[in-house]
Every structure is written in structure tokens, then in C-alpha cells.
Amino acid sequence: MYLKEGNIIHINEKSTLLFIVMIFYKILLDIGFLTVLVSIDASYTLDFNVIKYLVGFFSIIVLFLFIDHDRSQISSLAFELHLFIGIIPLSVIYSFCNESSIYFLAVCAAFLTATVIFCFTSNVSINFSIRIQGINLVIFACFAIVIMVVWVYVVIKNGLPTVTALDINNVYELRRENFFIQNKYIGYIYSWMMYVILPFIISYCLTRKKYAFSTIAFLSIIVLYLYSGNKTSLFSIPLILVCYIISKHDDTNLKIFSLFSLGVLASTILFWMCNIYVLYSLFVRRLLLLPAQIKFYYYDFFSIRPKIGLETTLWGSIFGFKPKYPEGVANTIGAVYYNHIDCNANTGFIAEGYMRFGIVGIFIAFLVFAFVLYLLDILQKKTGYVFSVTATIYVLYSLNDGSIIDPIIFGPFLILCLICIFYYKGEEQNEEALC
């Protein structure tokens, strides 16, 4: 059963299959943690608690039941995505490393609150959409200006890119050098471009079969990776392509998460049979279990230290809030828990909520998340499911490693919200829109 429009209804075949995939995925992560990660990485210490394991398992089942899996809506896919990449890996670290029950249950409660509120309000009609003649031309002109400004700055300040990042093992050497964007305002619009503008352009081109232009956008991501060494941005390419292909068919969420689970299985088996760790390290450890571990580090750190409130945001700068941690929170966490001040231990919006406002901040972060999903559903009604999934899957995925309270003020999520409100797809393909 699961919640839909305030009523409890029987689960259908599609949701049953997705539930089986979720359980399979959870058990795979558990087994991989025990047989791969603990034996290879000394930063993961086994301290298993059977009660916490049962609590974690029960919690993810409850959260699954409160997501509406029937709707072909970007909001449903986003809730499922963060259950898979956020909550389930968190449950693994929670039980196998004997972490805080207060924090884990608060996160689950906040996730549950967001799904319930979204369920009861998703059919409330609020006209956030504004149609202005010629606005799409203005939007794409702004995109062009942002892209040109970033490229001109990057090339003038850094010259041509090096090939250092072609060897993934060398990206940390690249990052130890000065970050390739030193101007904070260029940094803002760079994040707009990477998380929102380029994926939006790629989606626009792919759905209109303008493959040459989408290829240029993908090449831009690759070249910018050579400057930044940010592996997550490189991961955006297969993520966007796979989701574009799958979203054109039925049962998108089931296929995406089945493929995701098979990736975990393949990387685990590769280690068991061939002792090859690199795929497991990049896919399972880096994308799933490391962010979960860092979320508990943030809780441990800020549970006994001052929270930062609106520091490091635009409003914090306007009101003159001085940072309590001058080296930056991510670097401070890296120094404390990884013994390296250059370790940028950033993590997702769940930890951001806690470091800003404590337990209440976790709920605030999830409510902001639900509001963004409400706007994304509006975008879908105007553009279609394939377009909206392809355009937004990367920025939604990035929340597992990034913030939401700061970006909603002056970051990528502000730009995404404005696009949702003002962009309007042409009449020629309105039949693709799914209401």
C-alpha cells in the first residue's frame, strides 16, 4: 500500500516490482559494505548494531510506501531518487557504523513530512506559471550570455585546459592547485551553467533531435571537467543520456533504479571475482556511501558546535554575517575527520539543513525540496515528461552532494525555479505534456 491523495490504496504490480528492486538494492549495499568497503578502506569501521539495522530497514519501507509511484511525474521520480541515493545509503552507515539514531530518524521524519505534504497539496492549483510573449527568446539569450561570460573568464584566467584530469587518479592533484574560478560571482553563474543551463539546452536539443548542438553541450561539460577535475560533472553525461533514453518509454522509474541496482551488483561482483576496486570506489563508495558517511560527520560536528545559519549565502553577505569557520565548513570537516585541510568534505542538502539550523533545518531543507518539485511538475505540464526528466535529473541528483537552501537564494535552484515559472514550450509539441 502507499499514500495517494490522502487515501491508502493497494500497491500495484509496478510498485511491487520497484519495491523488490529497492530491497535488492539495499541488501546489495549492505553486502558490499561488509565484503568490499570495510576490507579496503580504513575510514569505514564496522560497528554493527542489529537494532539499528532493523530500524533502518523498517524506515525505508515506510518511506517507500508514502511515495506515489503511479504518477509519471518528475516529483515522484525525485522522491524515489533521494530514497535510493540518500536515505538507503544513510541507513547502511547508520547500522553498520552505529551512528546517531536522533539524526537518522529526524532525516526520515523530514522526508516523510515532505512526501505527505506534497501528496495533499500536489493537486492544489496555484498559478506559478507566467506566459509572456517572446520570453523563451529572452531566456535563451540569457543562457548565451552566461555561457560566453564563463568561457571568456575561464580561458583568460587559465589558458587552455591540461590533460591532468584524464587520469581520474590525478584529479585531486588538480584540485590542490588554485580553483580555476577565483571570482565568486563567476562561480555563481558557473554553477548555474553546469547544473541548470547546459542540461536544459541538452534536453531542448535532444527532444528536438538537434543532436549536433547537444553534442557541443556535452563537449563543453568534458572540457570544463579538464579545468575543474570535478568527477560529478563528468558523471552528468551518462546520467542525462540514460535518463533521456529510458524516459521515452513506460515505467521510467523502475528501469532507472533497476539499472542503478545492476550497476551496484556489477561493481561488487567485479571486486569479488577480479579484485578490481576502482568501479566500486567510483560508483558505490563515492556516489552513495561516502556522502552518507559525511552526513553523519556533519551531525557529529555541529551537534556540539555553533550552527552557521545563513552564513555563506547571499543574505548572509548582505547582512554582514561573518563565517564562524573561516576555512570553510567543508574544509573544516575534512581537517577534523580526514586529517586533511584540503579535503573538501561537502555533502548533500540534508547535512546543509542541519549545519544551518539544526534538526529544524533538516525539515526546512525538505520543505524547500518539495516546493522545487512542485515547480518542476509545472514545468513538466508545459514541456512533457521526457524534457523535464532530461533537463533536471542532474541538478536533482546533485543534491546528494550539494545544498538547496543557499542555491534557492541565488544559485542554480533559483534559476531553475524561474525557468519553471516563465519558460513555455511551443504549441507544436504540447501533446507530449503529461498532466
Q: What is the pTM of this model?
A: 0.90
- Rounded to a whole number of angstroms, the CA Rg of the chain reads 21
307 band by pLDDT with thresholds 50, 70 and 90: very high
- The three-point CA angle 416-237-79 to 5° equals 50
β-partners of residue 128 are none
* Domain boundaries of the chain, sorted by first residue: 2-124+245-432
pLDDT (tens digit per residue) in 201-248: 999 999 999 999 999 999 999 998 888 877 788 889 999 999 999 999
Residue entry with cell 579484485: 275
What pLDDT is recorded for position 320? Answer: 78
**13 phi, psi to nearest 5 deg:** -65, -45
Residue entry with cell 547582512: 319
150 band by pLDDT with thresholds 50, 70 and 90: very high
Average the pLDDT over 84-99 and give the result.
Answer: 97
Q: Residue 161, SS3?
A: coil
Q: What percent of the chain has pLDDT over 70?
A: 89
pLDDT (tens digit per residue) in 326-383: 888 988 999 999 887 777 788 889 999 999 999 999 999 999 999 999 889 988 988 8
Average the pLDDT over 93-121 and give the result.
Answer: 94
Q: Which residues contact 353 (CB under 8 A, 6 or more apart)?
A: 110, 361, 362, 363, 364, 365, 366, 405
Residue entry with cell 538507503: 88
Q: Residue 146, SS3?
A: helix
- Separation of alpha carbons 266 and 360, rounded Å: 39
What pLDDT is recorded for position 132? Answer: 76
- Which residue, among 142, 201, 122, has the nearest Cα to 381 in the 3D structure? 122
What pLDDT is recorded for position 185? Answer: 82
pLDDT (tens digit per residue) in 385-430: 999 999 999 999 999 988 998 888 778 998 998 898 888 875 444 4
Grid cell in block for residue 305: 558546535
Indicate if the pLDDT at residue 431 is higher than 60: no
Assign residue 322 a region: left if phi > 0, alpha if psi is -120 to 50, beta otherwise?
beta
Chain centroid to Cα 100, Å, comes to: 23
Q: Which residues contact 325 (CB under 8 A, 6 or more apart)?
A: 308, 332
Contact assessment for residue 11 and residue 19, using Cβ atoms and an 8 Å cutoff? yes
24 band by pLDDT with thresholds 50, 70 and 90: very high
- Separation of alpha carbons 260 and 391, rounded Å: 19
Mean pLDDT estimate for the chain: 87
